[in-house]
Structure 1
Amino acid sequence: MDKQTVTIYDVAREAAVSMATVSRVVNGNPNVKPATRQKVLDVIDQLDYRPNAVARGLASKKTTTIGVVIPDLTNSYFSELARGIDDVALMYKYNIILASSDENHDKELQVVDNLTAKQVDGIIFMGNQISDELRESLDRAHAPIVLAGSVDEQRQLPSVNIDYVAAVTDAMNRLIQRGNKRIAFVTGSMDESINHDYRLKGYQQALSSARLNYDAGLVFQTDYSYRAGYALAQALQDVKATAAYVGDDELAAGVLNGLTDAGVDVPADFEVITSNDTRFTEITRPRMSSITQPLYDIGAVSMRLLTKLMNNEEIGERTVVLPYGLKKRQSTK
């Protein structure tokens, strides 16, 4: 069947569902049984159906539209990456569709399917977890994908990052050199590869080199919010920690203020080092020491890598690792 002539009617007939159901699947409407959605998506794949007339007309030309999936629009880390992506996209005259997944796995799948239905030419994905379902969704997009500030432990998808293991090891060494022996590890869910396979590994490596025992009681997983960090102050005192490495700046600001309000003197009695060097590090008192990342560059390099993939240009390295640093401020001695 010529793909230019495949209609929604053909998909409905092949999948033995109504046209309304096909329409719901194409538009990412959640009110479709998973088995039915899968059946329709398989038929769409098989027939190579282009969901809308405009996109069909442009099947031979490029619509030059990029889908950018962002987990949290309010998180400075992701918005700084998005700025780098946007500037390079503008330079190459690509349109951007920015879609927020609200750190919700089901919404993430829906957002990727929506972008696929909109016939985007490429996708930049910022998220903390690449599940098998997400890999399938990204595969169905039939478009190049680049991960920005996100890791793929299977190293299948092109990505732009820093060396998170080395960065956390360095941050921990700073705290250990100041005589801290009970250092808390505070971050998001351990289901996320960036936390479990990278940051935690850096934390454990530093402890091991310093001949300090790893204590699971010092590991705290929570959500990336100020409120969550603030609520941890008491627990950190209860486990007799004297310092903390924190995986997100907003979370770290909560930890810092929670401790200060509980009468703990930072940094004299408790040191805090955070991860992303966003504006949160400057607006707390004391200001926070942090791992530094070239956030804007991670976004810009991701977008440039995507343009090369879309145009089938030669690319040297699919996993791009940019340099990081450590910035000393007042939350460490």
Structure 2
Amino acid sequence: MAASIKDVAKEAGVSIATVSRVLNDVDVVNEETKKKVLDAIKKLGYRPNIVARSLKTQRTKTIGILIPDISSQFYPEIVRGTEDVANIYDYNIMLCNSDSDLEKEKEYLRVLKEKMVDGVLYMSSSLEPEILNLIKQLELTTVLVETKDPEDIFPSVTIDNRAAAYDAVRYLTEKGNKKVAYIGAYRDVVTAWAKRYLGYEEALKDSDLEVNENLTFFGELKAQTGYEGINKILEKEESIDSLFCASDEIAMGAINALRDKGIRVPEDVDVVGFNDIYAASIFYPKLTTVSQPMYDMGSVAMRMLIKLVNNKEVDHKQYVLPYNLIERDSCKK
């Protein structure tokens, strides 16, 4: 028979109310008494009734995580960071994959509200006004990860995507490259990915190079986009000498397309990716790429969200974490 809260109180020699305060992390219980209660819980293997507890406290100790593409190698490392922190604070995770579908995102947000999650970590391919308005309407405590809203209303954890893309493209132009192509996400959406194109444009202008629409291709952040993008670009232009990609997956697809055309990387074309997923270090050639602190993005965001749902003050509302350009073998030395 499962142990009850009454059994825990008897084992610890305290009242049921004291056990309840320990379970709900109420500060009035002194450390010695709290230890007795926690030892009794461990000894008896007591597990509180989550449903009953949530009805009373209006808390479920559950965090919803909304991601756009579970097949991407980028998001699992972020989720791992969130999960490790959630485990420390005894929170559960409800993971939702939207497939970059706006309607699916909206439905998941409604479901998370119905499930009474304490808060939401939101990673998405879009930050449409209707999504932001829905989050406000549902009164979901939300932290944005990897991206941020235009008015900085929501707390967020990201890097400076525009600056990171700028540095990557300047790295290519400083090697003497003149025809720098770009393959990435659509530029007319409000996302971190779209900002990478803005960094690309700015770096070309600062390198006294013309922004040539024939050298750009927009699609999803997948390898297929890279493969298709190179073919489309080379239909319009006879050659390129370098390529900046908005994700490592795109870069890998592009390199495969170049290889199929007999164009060598890096001997003929320098290629830079973005994110530094695990495959970037084992792909051939090993990718030069912008490294995002994926695990840290997840862990910082989860710590911030847990503070917010517990009405505690956060040090910063907008976290901008550092990035690095990792030099490997896809660019000439």
* TM-score over 0.5 for the pair: yes
How far apart are residue 244 of structure 1 and its match? Answer: 1.1
How far apart are residue 275 of structure 1 and its match? Answer: 0.7
Q: 1:332 is aligned with what amino acid?
A: C
Aligned CA distance change for structure 1 residues 196 and 164 (closer, same or farther; 3 Å) = closer
Match in the other structure for 1:245: 244
Which stretch shows the higher mean deviation, 112-121 or 139-148? 139-148
- 1:258-314 per-position Cα deviation (integer Å, ceiling 9, x unaligned): 111210011111111011000221232111100011100000000001011111111
Match in the other structure for 2:309: 310
How far apart are residue 77 of structure 1 and its match? Answer: 0.7
8 Å CA contact retained: 1:267, 1:330:
yes
**Mind listing any 5+ residue stretches in structure 2 that lack a counterpart?**
1-50
8 Å CA contact retained: 1:189, 1:195:
no
Match in the other structure for 1:325: 324
Which stretch shows the higher mean deviation, 262-271 or 239-248? 239-248
Matched, 1:206 2:203: yes
8 Å CA contact retained: 2:157, 2:297:
yes
> Aligned ranges for residues 245-324 of structure 1 at < 5 Å?
245-324=244-323
8 Å CA contact retained: 1:55, 1:119:
no
With the length of structure 2 as denominator, give the TM-score of the two structures. Answer: 0.80
**Structure 2 Cα separation of the partners of residues 168 and 73 of structure 1:** 24
8 Å CA contact retained: 1:65, 1:121:
yes
Decide which structure has the larger Cα Rg and report it: 2
8 Å CA contact retained: 1:188, 1:195:
no
How far apart are residue 57 of structure 1 and its match? Answer: 6.2
How far apart are residue 130 of structure 1 and its match? Answer: 0.8
How far apart are residue 228 of structure 1 and its match? Answer: 2.3
**Mind listing any 5+ residue stretches in structure 1 that lack a counterpart?**
1-53
Q: 1:277 is aligned with what amino acid?
A: D
**Structure 1 Cα separation of the partners of residues 214 and 161 of structure 2:** 22
* Partner-residue secondary structure (3-state), 2:74: helix
Match in the other structure for 2:231: 234
Residue of structure 1 aligned with 2:161, choices 152, 160, 164: 164
Identity %: 35
Residue of structure 2 aligned with 1:143, choices 140, 157, 179: 140
How far apart are residue 141 of structure 1 and its match? Answer: 2.8
Which stretch shows the higher mean deviation, 208-217 or 261-270? 208-217
Q: CA RMSD in A?
A: 1.8
* Partner-residue secondary structure (3-state), 2:187: coil
Residue of structure 1 aligned with 2:81, choices 74, 77, 84: 84
Q: 1:130 is aligned with what amino acid?
A: L
**Structure 1 Cα separation of the partners of residues 128 and 179 of structure 2:** 33
> Aligned ranges for residues 104-183 of structure 1 at < 5 Å?
104-183=101-180
- 1:8-39 per-position Cα deviation (integer Å, ceiling 9, x unaligned): xxxxxxxxxxxxxxxxxxxxxxxxxxxxxxxx
> Aligned ranges for residues 28-107 of structure 1 at < 5 Å?
54=51, 58=55, 60-107=57-104
Which stretch shows the higher mean deviation, 189-198 or 315-324? 189-198
Which stretch shows the higher mean deviation, 169-178 or 193-202? 193-202
- 1:39-81 per-position Cα deviation (integer Å, ceiling 9, x unaligned): xxxxxxxxxxxxxxx5896153421110000111111111111
The ranges of structure 1 where at least 4 consecutive aligned residues each deviate by more than 6 angstroms after the TM superposition are none
Which stretch shows the higher mean deviation, 139-148 or 295-304? 139-148
How far apart are residue 153 of structure 1 and its match? Answer: 2.2
- 1:88-121 per-position Cα deviation (integer Å, ceiling 9, x unaligned): 0111101110011011111111111111111110
Match in the other structure for 1:189: 186
> Aligned ranges for residues 215-226 of structure 1 at < 5 Å?
215-226=212-223
**Structure 1 Cα separation of the partners of residues 77 and 169 of structure 2:** 25
**Structure 2 Cα separation of the partners of residues 174 and 88 of structure 1:** 36
Q: 1:320 is aligned with what amino acid?
A: Y
**Structure 2 Cα separation of the partners of residues 314 and 209 of structure 1:** 41
**Structure 2 Cα separation of the partners of residues 278 and 189 of structure 1:** 21
Size of the aligned set, in residue pairs, is: 281
8 Å CA contact retained: 1:286, 1:331:
yes
* Partner-residue secondary structure (3-state), 2:271: strand
* Partner-residue secondary structure (3-state), 1:193: coil
How far apart are residue 152 of structure 1 and its match? Answer: 1.6
* Partner-residue secondary structure (3-state), 2:255: helix
8 Å CA contact retained: 2:186, 2:194:
no
**Structure 1 Cα separation of the partners of residues 60 and 196 of structure 2:** 39
**Structure 1 Cα separation of the partners of residues 331 and 190 of structure 2:** 27
8 Å CA contact retained: 2:159, 2:320:
yes
